[in-house]
């Protein structure tokens, strides 16, 4: 990512601040650097418009610049609550068309989606719809479990300044994200209960040493509740009647709909904000419920999100998948396409080389 360094106005300062954050991320995104070199030569996206719905933050900004290097016109919008305004300003400065800011609500977000689609995209990269690379085993392992999980826990500790050890946590969902959260909490000494409807995942949670129970029972024993299912209305309706006084709610899913925030606000007789991302709702019976990051993704809304290296892998997968679609779309049947095994293998090999700081695997095999 490059950009002219401007000074003088508050907007110029915002641009420069965003550029600095992007440069730091770019320094550690070795896979995307490698793809930029390739795309700069091959220009796989020449004449194409790529429209993106993805969190607008430093790491994804590097992806935008890589796609630009490949010849693409890039249009992006983020998610409510997670857009970094300085990064958005820096992207605009570098020629990316950006819709959205951190203050947007869901209505405004829908308007931005329509604006993005008005650019008549040739390719769509929609992270929230999980269409590009979400089922890649690499993304599930490195980004979701080892990236999202620990940073959600870090976000809880940062925003609340509370102790994990001996505290009772409930994790809704034991997919790759929920598993990462639960395992991280347990390693830190937390008491972890899991609510999982899928019997195979529930068994995995039990074998990992977690307590597995129903939603109804979990509401009565937990102190902190993390939603990580990807489904709306996990904590909603009568669930609010059974939460204990002092309960803390946090979301790790892509959208805030896992917690019915509108109903929580409707049930409350008072709300106060004691820290930037901490809201306390007082209910009619006097119980107080704490909501973190307005129900948005805790690790991104209140922090820097996943570690740079984990996002480097996930974003590289997405960039390579887009290039693959351009090159092979005439040969592919309609419908979702799994990430090809050769792309998974290549990206995994590059990441092993980077993380192990060893000679390339090909050299060791010769």
- The fold of the 138-301 domain, in CATH, is Rossmann fold (3.40.50)
Instruction: Judge if 10-131+308-324+339-360 and 138-301 fold alike in CATH terms.
Output: yes
**Element at 180 (helix H, strand E):** helix 176-187
Dihedral pair phi/psi, residue 187, rounded to 5°: -65, -30
CA 232/CA 120 separation, integer angstroms: 30
Other Cβ atoms closer than 10 A to 95: 12
What does each of the 366 residues of the chain score in pLDDT, given as a tens digit? 544 433 446 688 899 999 999 999 999 999 999 999 999 999 999 999 999 998 899 999 999 999 999 999 999 998 877 888 999 999 999 999 999 888 888 788 889 989 999 999 999 888 754 334 455 665 666 566 667 788 899 999 999 999 999 999 999 999 989 999 999 999 999 999 999 999 999 999 999 999 999 999 999 999 999 999 989 999 999 999 999 999 999 999 877 889 999 999 999 999 999 888 899 999 999 999 999 999 988 987 766 777 888 889 989 999 999 999 999 988 988 877 788 889 989 999 998 888 887 545 455 454
- Could you tell me the strand order of the sheet in which 191-195 lies? 211-212, 191-195, 168-172, 224-227, 248-251, 288-292, 278-283, 268-275
Distance between alpha carbon 155 and the CA centroid of its chain, in Å? 13
Phi, then psi, of 192 in degrees rounded to 5? -115, 130
Q: For 10-131+308-324+339-360, CATH number?
A: 3.40.50.1480
Rounded CA-CA distance 16/93 in Å is 10
Where do the structural domains in the chain lie, given as residue ranges?
10-131+308-324+339-360, 138-301
Taking the C-alpha atoms of residue 123 and residue 119, their distance in angstroms, rounded to an integer, is 11
pTM of structure: 0.71
State the alpha helices, DSSP H only, in 28-175.
30-42, 58-69, 85-93, 106-117, 137-138, 149-160
The rounded distance, in Å, linking the Cα atoms of 62 and 64 is 5
C-alpha neighbours within 13 Å on the C-beta side of residue 255 = 17
Q: Which whole-number Å values give the CA distances from 66 to 25, 89, 304, in the listed order?
A: 13, 18, 21
Taking the C-alpha atoms of residue 235 and residue 201, their distance in angstroms, rounded to an integer, is 20
Residue 171's contacts (CB-CB under 8 Å, 6 or more residues apart) are 178, 181, 182, 185, 192, 193, 194, 195, 210, 226, 228
User: 114: which 2 tokens?
Assistant: 């329509």
87, 57 contact by CB (below 8 A): yes
Question: In whole angstroms, how far apart are CA 248 and each of 73, 96, 162, 243?
Answer: 42, 38, 11, 9
């Amino acid at each position: 990512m490059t950009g002219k360094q401007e000074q003088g106005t508050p907007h110029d300062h915002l641009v420069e601040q965003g550029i600095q954050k992007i440069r730091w991320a770019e320094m550690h995104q070795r896979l995307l650097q490698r793809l930029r070199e390739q795309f700069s030569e091959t220009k796989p996206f020449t004449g194409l418009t790529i429209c993106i719905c993805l969190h607008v933050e430093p790491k994804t900004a590097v992806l935008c610049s890589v796609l630009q290097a490949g010849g693409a016109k890039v249009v992006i919008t983020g998610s409510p609550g997670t857009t970094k305004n300085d990064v958005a300003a820096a992207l605009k400065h570098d020629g990316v068309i950006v819709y959205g800011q951190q203050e947007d609500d869901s209505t405004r977000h829908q308007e931005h989606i329509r604006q993005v689609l008005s650019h008549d995209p040739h390719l769509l990269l929609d992270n929230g719809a999980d269409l590009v690379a979400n089922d890649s085993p690499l993304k599930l392992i490195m980004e979701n479990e080892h990236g999202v999980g620990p940073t959600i826990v870090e976000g809880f500790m940062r925003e609340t300044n509370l102790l994990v050890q001996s505290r009772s946590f409930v994790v809704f969902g034991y997919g790759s994200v929920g598993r990462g959260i639960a395992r991280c909490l347990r390693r830190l000494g937390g008491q972890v209960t899991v609510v999982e409807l899928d019997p195979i995942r529930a068994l995995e949670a039990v074998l990992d040493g977690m307590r597995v129970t129903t939603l109804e029972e979990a509401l009565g024993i937990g102190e902190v509740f993390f939603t990580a299912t990807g489904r709306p209305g996990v904590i909603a309706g009568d669930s609010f009647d059974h939460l204990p006084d002092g309960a803390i709610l946090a979301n790790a899913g892509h959208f805030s709909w896992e917690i019915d925030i509108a109903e929580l606000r409707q049930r409350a007789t008072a709300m106060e904000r004691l820290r930037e991302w901490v809201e306390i709702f007082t209910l009619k019976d006097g119980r107080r419920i704490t909501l973190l990051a307005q129900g948005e993704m805790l690790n991104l809304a209140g922090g820097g999100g996943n570690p740079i290296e984990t996002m480097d892998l996930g974003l590289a997968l997405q960039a390579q998948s887009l290039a693959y679609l351009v090159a092979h779309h005439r040969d592919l049947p309609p419908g979702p396409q799994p990430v090809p095994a050769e792309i998974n293998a290549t990206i995994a090999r590059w990441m092993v080389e980077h993380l192990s700081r060893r000679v390339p695997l090909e050299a060791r095999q010769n």
